[in-house]
Chains A and B, each alone.
Chain A
Amino acid sequence: MSEAALATAPAEFAPWEDAQATPLIRFQNVTKRFGDFTAIDNLTIDIFEKEFFALLGPSGCGKTTMMRMLAGFETQTEGTILIDGQDVAPIPPNKRAVNMMFQSYALFPHLSVAENIAFGLKRDKLPKDQVAARVDEMLNLVQLDKFASRKPHQISGGQRQRVALARSLAKAPKLLLLDEPLGALDKKLRQDTQFELMDIQEKTGTTFVIVTHDQEEAMTVASRIAVMDHGKIIQVDTPAKIYEEPGSVYVADFIGDVNLIEGTVTTSGDDHATISWAEGQQDLIGIAHDEIPAGTRATLAIRPEKVNIATERPADMTNIIHGKVMDIAYLGNMSTYVIETPTGQHIKAQAANTRRIRRRAITWDQDVWLSFTDTAGVVLTS
């Protein structure tokens, strides 16, 4: 497959930065209301070919509605949805080159694994030998050759998930929608399957749109993530950008663990802002791409793993916070320390346990200094 080669170069794969690129999916001012409830609120977004696009948000944020509109099970109240330049509003689900993998897998219980995969191909009235060949190819792709004649209740949850994937890919759709595809799997299997999904996405070159509420899953598989809340997209960016440079307190808090330090901006400019946040503590500096007027209330978001913890005051760090160890959570590979500042704020720091627990120097009620660089945190005003 020559298309696959293109998709395997993730470093250069960034069509959203190319002004010339035409998107595969285009939501233009789309609003969807169910009675009085607004599920999608004037939403505009472009999704490009071969992307692995994640819609991430808490339940009820509208992510599933977006997916169901793409599949054709819901119609928008206002706005237009274009797939491949075509307005899809009048096209029923069975006429769209879009397939969906359902959260419950929705495997047909009365049909065998092979018949499930063949189901969509038979609807296209393909000749028998072509159907059989494609089914074999799909079984091979998801490594279920040996289970072709089993019924869905005769295979395990992980295998069912792969059958559902094979069935939705069998018709070689332009766009594959995945609705919480790994929700029903246990953690270990979920991680393995995430890599498998990425692998299959690269191999087939299909555009994937995944709906999930699991931020780790979105971070692992997606080329871009849209963080949603209350029918609006809060931020669309690559996983790294979303994690390192969240655009708002909501995104920072939603993705991963974060310390949110509130304060007032004293100076700003040159991609940085300084906030004063507590009496007796020195001001903190973080990234701020836009200039923020002095005196504005702002929040410094800093990830615990970027905070250094030491028993002595570090000499050459810009940001230093003094406090007392209040809690230590030992997680095996790392420990999380909760530090209480003299003004009563709690700040978390994480450190890898490179030494055995007995040798570690930090203990409860000890005076410690936290420090981080001036590019470790971001200053957010919303």
Chain B
Amino acid sequence: MRRLSWFNTVSLTLGFAFLYIPMIILIIYSFNGGKLVTVWSGFSTKWYGELFRNEAFLDAAWVTLKVAVMSSTVATVLGTMAAYVMVRAGRFHGRTLFSGMIYAPLVMPEVITGLSLLLLFIAIGLDRGVLTIVLAHTTFSMCYVSVVVSSRLVTFDQSLEEAALDLGCTGFEAFRLVTLPIIAPAVISGWLLAFTLSLDDLVIASFTSGPSSTTLPIKIFSAVRLGVSPEINALSTIMISLVAIGVIAASLTSKRAIAKRAKDEQEAI
């Protein structure tokens, strides 16, 4: 291992401090015994207990999870289909327009997306609830899925699909039996991306949620407006740990897979 020069050490420390000090403070205060958020009064886990007795938070968490799973699944199906057509269908009429339009929601301000969806739902008389949030989240997260999947499809060796056709597959069979299993990692990461986008969305959800369907971000935001409670710190700490575990697990799995592949290839020669 190389020793870092003092300049590199300082840059590294500053950069990471900037990124992580807010979260570390939040985690520390989640174990604060007192009711005041900014005054330390001894270690305690009581706010975690309080949190799990708070029905409103638990309900909101459950709604959020449902919305995230449903919207990311639908977005993955639609996004993958869109990506496949964009990359594979060749130059059809209006392709440039369509591919531009698929990426437009990525740069559209969320407020506008939220507002336009709200107007649409009111216009067609759809009651706001879980369904409307799912639809709204699907709308914006499928663009992200399509970006991730199409970047994989661009490097996909097309002769694999031709080989499948040559061996007797119909077009759909070739996709299901060959293309999909091979691009699965990209599809899965598209799903995960859509899932996390849905989990932490506040703006669009607040436009499209109804009284019975408050998501966790909305709940936290409205709770904080009444004053930050240590319960929220505890909830945030739990979310940080879940995300951290998820990210670390994912990177370990992919690192292992790469190492195994390298080893296999070495042995093959």
Q: Which residues of A contact B (CB under 8 A)?
A: 71-73, 92-94, 98-100, 102-104, 106, 108-110, 119-120, 123-124, 150-151, 153-156, 159, 167-168, 171
Tell which of B43-51, B208-216, B224-232, B261-269 binds the partner. B261-269
List the A residue with the shortest CB-CB distance to B180.
A110
A150–B267 Cα distance when bound, in Å, is: 11
Q: Is A119's CB under 8 angstroms from B269's CB?
A: no
A93–B168 Cα distance when bound, in Å, is: 7
Q: Is B264's CB under 8 angstroms from A154's CB?
A: yes
Asked if B163 is at the interface (CB within 8 A of a chain A CB), the reply is yes
Asked if B160 is at the interface (CB within 8 A of a chain A CB), the reply is yes
Closest chain B CB from A125 CB (angstroms): 10
Q: Is B163's CB under 8 angstroms from A109's CB?
A: no
Chain B residues positioned under 8 Å from A167 (CB to CB): 163, 167
Chain A residues positioned under 8 Å from B127 (CB to CB): none
Asked if B178 is at the interface (CB within 8 A of a chain A CB), the reply is yes
Q: Is B159's CB under 8 angstroms from A123's CB?
A: no
Q: Is B264's CB under 8 angstroms from A104's CB?
A: no
List the A residue with the shortest CB-CB distance to B262.
A153
Query: Which residue of A72, A123, A154, A171 is within 8 Å of B267 (Cβ)?
Result: A154
The 25 sampled A-B contact pairs (Cβ below 8 Å) are A72-B165, A73-B162, A92-B165, A94-B170, A99-B166, A99-B167, A102-B163, A104-B159, A106-B160, A108-B164, A108-B178, A109-B182, A110-B181, A123-B168, A123-B169, A123-B173, A151-B264, A153-B265, A153-B268, A154-B265, A154-B267, A155-B268, A159-B268, A167-B167, A168-B166
A73-B162, A123-B168 known; A106 and B157 CB under 8 Å? yes
Closest chain B CB from A100 CB (angstroms): 5
Chain A residues positioned under 8 Å from B178 (CB to CB): 108
Query: Which residue of A92, A103, A119, A159 is within 8 Å of B159 (Cβ)?
Result: A103
Q: Is B265's CB under 8 angstroms from A123's CB?
A: no
Closest chain A CB from B92 CB (angstroms): 15
Q: Is A94's CB under 8 angstroms from B165's CB?
A: yes
Chain A residues positioned under 8 Å from B164 (CB to CB): 108, 119
A4–B182 Cα distance when bound, in Å, is: 39
Report the 8 A-B pairs with minimum CB-CB distance, sorted nearest first. Answer: A120-B167, A123-B168, A106-B163, A106-B159, A93-B165, A154-B264, A110-B181, A102-B159
Chain A residues positioned under 8 Å from B181 (CB to CB): 110
Chain A residues positioned under 8 Å from B261 (CB to CB): 153
Chain B residues positioned under 8 Å from A73 (CB to CB): 162, 165
Q: What per-residue 1/0 map shows which CB atoms of B107-140 lie under 8 Å from chain A?
A: 0000000000000000000000000000000000
Chain A residues positioned under 8 Å from B182 (CB to CB): 108-110
Q: Which residues of B contact A (CB under 8 A)?
A: 157, 159-160, 162-170, 173, 177-178, 181-182, 261, 264-265, 267-269
Q: Is B168's CB under 8 angstroms from A154's CB?
A: no
A103–B162 Cα distance when bound, in Å, is: 12
A110–B181 Cα distance when bound, in Å, is: 7
Closest chain A CB from B167 CB (angstroms): 3
Chain A residues positioned under 8 Å from B167 (CB to CB): 94, 99, 119-120, 123, 167, 171
A103-B159, A104-B157 known; A171 and B168 CB under 8 Å? yes
Closest chain B CB from A83 CB (angstroms): 14
Chain A residues positioned under 8 Å from B269 (CB to CB): 156
Besides A73-B162, A98-B166, A100-B166, 13 more A-B contacts (Cβ < 8 Å) are A71-B166, A73-B165, A102-B162, A102-B163, A104-B159, A108-B164, A110-B182, A120-B168, A123-B167, A153-B268, A154-B264, A168-B166, A171-B167
Of residues A94, A104, A150, which shows the largest number of chain B Cβ atoms within 10 Å of its Cβ? A94
A104-B157, A106-B157, A108-B178 known; A93 and B265 CB under 8 Å? no
Chain B residues positioned under 8 Å from A106 (CB to CB): 157, 159-160, 162-163
Q: Is A154's CB under 8 angstroms from B268's CB?
A: yes
Q: Is A108's CB under 8 angstroms from B160's CB?
A: yes
Of residues A120, A124, A171, which shows the largest number of chain B Cβ atoms within 10 Å of its Cβ? A120
Closest chain B CB from A94 CB (angstroms): 5
Chain A residues positioned under 8 Å from B264 (CB to CB): 151, 153-154
Chain B residues positioned under 8 Å from A120 (CB to CB): 167-168
A8–B127 Cα distance when bound, in Å, is: 78
A171–B169 Cα distance when bound, in Å, is: 13
A102-B159, A106-B160 known; A156 and B166 CB under 8 Å? no
A133–B164 Cα distance when bound, in Å, is: 21
A151–B166 Cα distance when bound, in Å, is: 21
A124–B182 Cα distance when bound, in Å, is: 23
A157–B55 Cα distance when bound, in Å, is: 61
A156–B177 Cα distance when bound, in Å, is: 24
A153–B164 Cα distance when bound, in Å, is: 19
Chain B residues positioned under 8 Å from A99 (CB to CB): 166-167
Chain A residues positioned under 8 Å from B268 (CB to CB): 150, 153-156, 159
Chain B residues positioned under 8 Å from A159 (CB to CB): 268
List the B residue with the shortest CB-CB distance to A177.
B166
Closest chain B CB from A183 CB (angstroms): 13
A104-B157, A154-B268 known; A93 and B170 CB under 8 Å? no
A285–B145 Cα distance when bound, in Å, is: 73
